Structure 1
Amino acid sequence: MKPAPFELFRPETIDEALQLLADHQDADIKVLAGGQSLIPMMNFRVAQPEFLVDLGKVADFWGIEEDSDLISIRPMTRHADVKANPLVARYLPLVREAYDHVAHATIRNRGTLGGNLAHADPASEMPCVMVALDARFVLQSKKATRVLPAREFYFGPFVTAIEPDEVLVRIQVPKARSGDGFAFEEVSLRKGDFAISAVAARINSDGGVCRSAGIAIAGVAGTPVHAEAAETMIVGEPVSPDRIALAADAMIATIEFSGTATISAEYRRDLTRTLLTRALTRASSVGGV
C-alpha cells in the first residue's frame, strides 16, 4: 500500500523545526526521524498525518557527547552509531549489551534512538533500558524546554508525554558508577524481533549488599514496566539467590499478564520470572555484562 497524501517539511535548524510544530500543533503532524516505524505505519494507513516534519537535515540533532556524569545522545543518532560509540561502550554497558537484541543491521543503520524512544513500542528494548537506567529526556518547544525522567515519559502503547509542539532534543543517560553491575535478558520469536519479554537490570553493590537498583521489563504491558517491587526487595539486602527469587516473585505478582494466539499468558509470566532471575543474578556481580 501507499501512504495517504501528506505535506512534507525538511527543516535545517532546530528553530525551524520547532516553528513548524508550533504553527501546525492543532493539525495531525508527525515528526520523522529514521522512519523505520512510522513509514510502515503510514504505508498501511495506520497513521495518516496531514504534515510530516523530516529532521534528517537538522545537524544539531546528531551526535553523542560526554557531559560530567552523563552521556548525552542527540535524537537523530542512528542505532548503529550508538552501538559502536566508544563512550557508550565505556560508560553505558547496559545500552551496549541490549543493542545485541535490537532489530536487524539494516534497521539499525537507518533507525534512530530518538525516533525509537518517541515511538514508544512497549516491546522495544531501548525504552526499557532507559527506564532501568533512569535516563532523562529533554523536550523542547518554541515556548520552553523541560526535562522528564524516562519513568514518567511513557503513558501507553505508542503514547508519550511529548506535546504536539515539542520535540525530543537530548537523551541524558547516567554513566555507570563504581559498584554497578548490568544485565539484559530477552526472549523473542526470532533474533531481532520485538521482545516476548525482556528485562534490563542495574544493581549497585558493595560487599555483596545492594545499595541501589534500576530494573525494567519490556513486552508485558502497555509501557516499559519500572520494576519497583523487585527493587524494593533487594535494595539494602545481601544479594543472594533466595533474595533474587523473592524479588522476582514480588514483581511477577504485580503484573497482569496477557496472552496472544501463539503465546499464552502463563508462558509469558513464567518466562518473565526466569528472565528477572537471570538478569538480577548477573547484574548482582560488578561488571555483570
Structure 2
Amino acid sequence: MSAPGLTTVSEAKAFGGKQFVYTHRSEETGTEMRFAAFLPPQADKMDVPVLWYLSGLTCTEENFTVKAGAQRVAAELGVALIAPDTSPRGDEVPDDPDGAYDFGLGAGFYVDATEAPWSAHYRMRSYIETELPALVGQALPLDMERQAITGHSMGGHGALTIALRNPERFKGVSAFAPICAPMRCPWGDKALTGYIGPNRAKWREYDACALIEDGARVPAIFVDQGLEDGFLEGQLKPELLEAACDAAGIRLSLRRQPGYDHSYYFIATFIEDHLRWHAERLGF
C-alpha cells in the first residue's frame, strides 16, 4: 500500500490481509524509524481499529511480526496491528558504551530522555504517543477512535505507562510479562538514571505502579505472566502492580501461567486471548 510519508520496505499477503514494514523520517528522534503494520482484509473497505504492540529489550519491529502469530486472529477480527521499533537507530545515535543489551540501542524504554547524549534522539515516548499515531492515522485506513495497546517486558512497561497517561485514547491495555515497577528493579534503575537523571521524582511518570499511586486510572488491565520466567522476581514484579491496582480499584486480570518463560513461545500461546479481549473493548 502506498502511504503518504511512508516508504514501503516489504509487503506480503497474510490471512487475506497485508503485512507491511515501513520506514519514515522521525522529527522526534531525528532518525529514520521502522515499524510493522498488519492490515486485515476489512481494511480494503473501511477504516479498522488498531492494536499497538510494543516490544521488549533488544527487539525490533520484526520480533512480534514474525514470531507471535497474531495475524490470523487479527484478520478474523478486523483489527490492524502496529509494531514500532524499540529505539532510534543509526550511526549518529549513541549506544551503551559497554555494549550492554539493557540500555541504548534496542532499549529506548519508551521515555523521552532528558540527559545528554541520549536526549537528542531517545524520544520514544513522544514518538509512540504523538508522532507515529498522527502519521499512521493519516496514511493508513485506521479508525483512530478505536485504539488499544499491549506489549512485552520493556514493551509491557511502555504499554501500561502510555495507557495510564492517555486513558482517553485507549479502549484497552494489556501486557505480557511487563516490567511493572521500573523504579524498583535493576533494568529500570539503570534506564531511568541514564535517560532521565538521578531525580527519582521525575521517574514516576515512567512507572506504572507510581502512576497509579499518583492517581492515573484505566478501567481494566489484562496481564499474562509465565511462572518459569527467569526475570520474574528480580525485574518484573507483578505483585507490585497487583497491589497498586487493588488499592486503586482498577480491575486487574493477572494470569500466572505455570511452566511458561519469557520467550515468544509464551506470547504466541496467549496472543489470541489478548486479541479477543481487546476486540471486546474495541466494540466487536
* TM-score normalized with structure 1 length: 0.29
Structure with max Cα Rg? 1
